[in-house]
Amino acid sequence: MIIRFTLNNEEKTVDVPATKRVIDLLREDFDLLRNKVSCYQGACGSCSILLDNCIVSSCSILAFELKGRTVVTAEGFMKTEEYQRINHIFQKNQYDPCDFCRWGKIFAIHEFIHSEEHIDSDSLTRALKGNQCNCSSPTLLLSVAEQIVKAEKKINTGRKHERTARK
Amino acid sequence: MNAPHENSRLSLVFTPEHLGEALSLYARNPGAILYAGGTALLSKQSERLPIFGAPLISLKRVEELKTIRRYENFIEFGAAVTLGDILRCKESRFLPPVFKTAVRAVGTPAVRNTATIGGHLAVTERKLLLLPILLILDAAVEVKSQTTTRSGEIKRFLDEKNGFILQANEIITKIRIPTGRFNLWGFSALPGSVIRSQDFFMSCFVARKNRFLIEKINFAFNIDGRLVIRIKQSEDRLIGKKFPLSAAEIREEMRFFTSKIEGELIAPSPYKKERIINAFRLILTQDLTKSGLIE
Ligand SMILES: Cc1cc2nc3c(=O)[nH]c(=O)nc-3n(C[C@H](O)[C@H](O)[C@H](O)COP(=O)(O)OP(=O)(O)OC[C@H]3O[C@@H](n4cnc5c(N)ncnc54)[C@H](O)[C@@H]3O)c2cc1C
Ligand code: FES
Ligand code: FES
């Protein structure tokens, strides 16, 4: 099946089996290897990507579903200023998750930043659910996520005010 | 009409954009598999390249199944609306809080961004989290085939074990969730709403209370994701009662409820029976003065 979609800001066309899993498509056909794969069941979070700016498990999305849609992988997100700021707060807190859970956590935080959810530990815990990781501190993750979300929301509100003022 | 896409190994995938197209494809391919979010369908696939053994009809691009509309007394969701979109849409602030709380408890953000409300209802192997909630809210569905349309409260579409029954070539098209009917609610899911767990248990209720009197109360329980229990006679007995109930009334209602539960459980395990009875006690002993979550 021929599929046209946007991948990390570039228009792409591929000819692949319609039911190929997107994680395999990204890794095998585009050599994008930063997103990992582990359970193939939508349960562990290692294959997380952004599809139309929403976090999804790319092992649970099939190639035909990409038609006309926008995908951002770890490689694409790393080029954004938002990622630089997130990474800075990770480093400041000496929080360095491994490559298997890193992107699930980062994309979950990204989605939370752009949601209307209240910032409290319940909703942050819910947002971060789905990243199986028993080897780093969940308390630290919550604290880091809260710092990031608060900082990003401030930036976004500032930008909104700026736009309104310019109008 | 969209040309089907042939997988190099077996599966044809149709990607209709309009409901008429989807219904006619389904009528012409009666063995086809409806593919909505695919989360349930893929969880049965162990192959890296999934093989379905039948054509797929993808519902995610069908315009009529992606709409969200607010009417005076209900909100209508197209069956292919994702659980994530339900939480994000502007109409969501009018949804019953018990429903929103339960949607937030389904899986993970990634699952909710993929799974659809129609697919959630149509899963037959498990009774999922939202089925009891939709039941107690008196939610309705619309189901269409190429030649027929059926609609009505969800309970009319369930078999005696509360499994959703679709007839040949029918597609769930709309789910309508009443708004503003209830002013009290409670929801509890253990452990942490992980429906795959062997030990899953959830209870929920909604009620309309006018000063002290209960005008309507609905409750349901989901055990192990296998059994959804509603005891209608117990609900009816509470209508018109003044809350909080007296100790004697609680005892009497508990006795009645327990006798009904004995007959309902397919594989009665004393532990699970005790859980339902305790959850019912919690509903009864709430002073039911404010809406909120029972943990
Ligand atoms: C990692 C993970 C965690 C999960 N956690 C939870 C949880 O905590 N709680 C919970 O309740 N559930 C949970 N689930 C299950 C999830 O809620 C369901 O898989 C999902 O709701 C199904 O929706 P879907 O759109 O993906 O359905 P699909 O997989 O596309 O379809 C499911 C079934 O419904 C049929 N179907 C789909 N749409 C229609 C339609 N419109 N009309 C008729 N038939 C249709 C399909 O043919 C198929 O038989 C989890 C799933 C995963 C993968
Ligand atoms: S590999 Fe996709 S969620 Fe685990
Ligand atoms: S799985 Fe990555 S740090 Fe724990």
Residue-by-residue pLDDT tens, chain B, 295 positions: 455 555 444 579 999 999 999 999 999 999 999 999 999 999 999 889 998 999 999 999 999 999 999 999 999 999 999 999 999 999 999 999 999 999 998 999 999 999 999 999 999 887 788 999 999 999 999 999 999 999 999 999 998 877 889 999 999 999 999 998 998 898 888 755 455 556 778 889 999 988 889 999 999 988 877 778 889 999 999 999 998 889 999 999 999 999 988 876 555 577 778 888 888 998 888 754 445 544 3
Q: Which domain holds residue B138?
A: 65-178
If pLDDT is split at 50, 70 and 90, which confidence band does A38 have? very high
Chain B residues close to A19, C-beta within 8 Å = 7, 11, 13, 49-52, 56
What pLDDT score was predicted for residue B5? 55
Assess whether B204 and B246 both reside in one domain.
yes
A87 and A71 fall within a common domain:
no
Which residue, A48, A77, A106, sits at the end of a domain? A77
* Counted domains in chain B: 3
Final residue of a domain: which of B178, B202, B221? B178
The nearest CA of chain B is from the CA of A81 a distance in Å of: 23
> Which among B2, B5, B91, B187 is the top mutation candidate for probing chain A, defined by the most A β-carbons within 10 Å of its own β-carbon?
B5
Q: Are residues A97 and A152 in the same domain?
A: yes
Cα separation, B149 vs B144, whole angstroms: 4
Do A162 and A87 reside in the same domain of the chain? yes
Q: Does A19 touch chain B (CB under 8 A)?
A: yes
The predicted model scores a pTM of 0.93
- Asked if residue A113 and residue A72 are part of one domain, the reply reads no
Both B114 and B27 in one domain: the answer is no
Residues A86 and A138 both lie in one domain: yes
B188 at interface of A, judged by CB pairs closer than 8 A: no
The structural domain count of chain A equals: 2
CATH number of the CATH domain containing B129 = 3.30.465.10
Query: What pLDDT, in 10s, does the model give residues A90-148?
Result: 999 999 999 999 999 999 999 999 998 889 998 999 999 988 888 899 999 999 999 99
Co-location of A14 and A62 in the same domain: yes
Please give the Cα distance from B45 to A64 (Å, whole number). Answer: 17
pLDDT confidence of residue B271: 79
pLDDT at position A161, please?
77
This complex has an ipTM of 0.94
Q: In terms of CA atoms, which chain A residue is nearest residue B43?
A: A41
Amino acid B7: pLDDT: 46
Range of the structural domain that residue A23 is part of = 2-77
- State the closest ligand 1 atom to the C-alpha of B166, by its place in the atom list counted from 1: 43
Does residue A27 carry a pLDDT above 50? yes
pLDDT value for B294: 43
